[in-house]
């Protein structure tokens, strides 16, 4: 895991793109009305899903950045932890949508969210080199994000 935090900026973009496409795939799998849509509607949905994935990451990472702005935290670690947590959530959601033919229930979303947000919280707590009060701030923000994503 330590090698992951030593990546250059091009590799970080690659990690973000992995999350980005996983989230778009998850959104396509979760949309039951996409099968009969014309091509123009599919392109528009792809654009909307791409914007959603980017905005979700930007909000989560942006508020984490603002919380840690006055510290000596390595923001590369926060970036990678956020991307990994969101990618884990996307992978689990994709598997749930593939296995379950109907819409996901609140319990399934809850379990997937706990695993995804829990991995992000655990990675931040373990690898972020800041004092404990800032780790608590980031943990609380991740819990708030988890609750918002469930609803």
pLDDT for residue 100 is more than 80: no
H helical segments located in 1-151: 9-30, 39-67, 75-99, 106-127, 132-150
* Token pair listed for 105: 């229930």
Which percentage of the chain shows pLDDT scores above 70?
A: 96
Instruction: Tell me which of 151 and 90 has the higher pLDDT.
Output: 90
43 pLDDT higher than 80: yes
Render pLDDT for 48-67 as a digit per residue (tens, 0 to 9): 989 999 999 999 999 999 99
Reply yes or no on whether the pLDDT at 32 is more than 90: no
Across 81-88, average pLDDT: 90
pLDDT at 98: 81
Instruction: Check whether 149 has a pLDDT greater than 90.
Output: no
Q: Which of 45-54, 65-74, 138-147 has the lowest mean pLDDT?
A: 65-74
* Length of the chain counted residue by residue: 151
Q: Tell me: the pLDDT tens digits for 101-127? A: 666 677 888 888 899 899 999 998 998
């Amino acid at each position: 895991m330590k090698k992951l935090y030593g990546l250059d900026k091009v590799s970080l973009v690659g990690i973000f793109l992995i999350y980005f496409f996983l989230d778009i795939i998850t959104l396509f799998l979760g949309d039951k009305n996409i099968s009969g849509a014309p091509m123009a509607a599919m392109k528009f949905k792809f654009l909307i899903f791409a914007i959603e994935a980017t905005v979700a990451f930007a909000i989560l990472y942006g508020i984490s950045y603002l919380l840690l702005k006055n510290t000596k935290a390595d923001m590369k670690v926060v970036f990678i932890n956020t991307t990994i947590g969101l990618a884990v959530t996307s992978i689990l959601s994709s598997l749930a949508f593939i296995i379950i033919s109907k819409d996901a229930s609140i319990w399934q979303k809850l379990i997937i969210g706990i695993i995804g947000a829990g991995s992000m919280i655990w990675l931040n707590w373990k690898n972020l080199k800041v004092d404990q009060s800032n780790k608590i701030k980031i943990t609380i923000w991740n819990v708030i994000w988890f609750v918002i994503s469930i609803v």
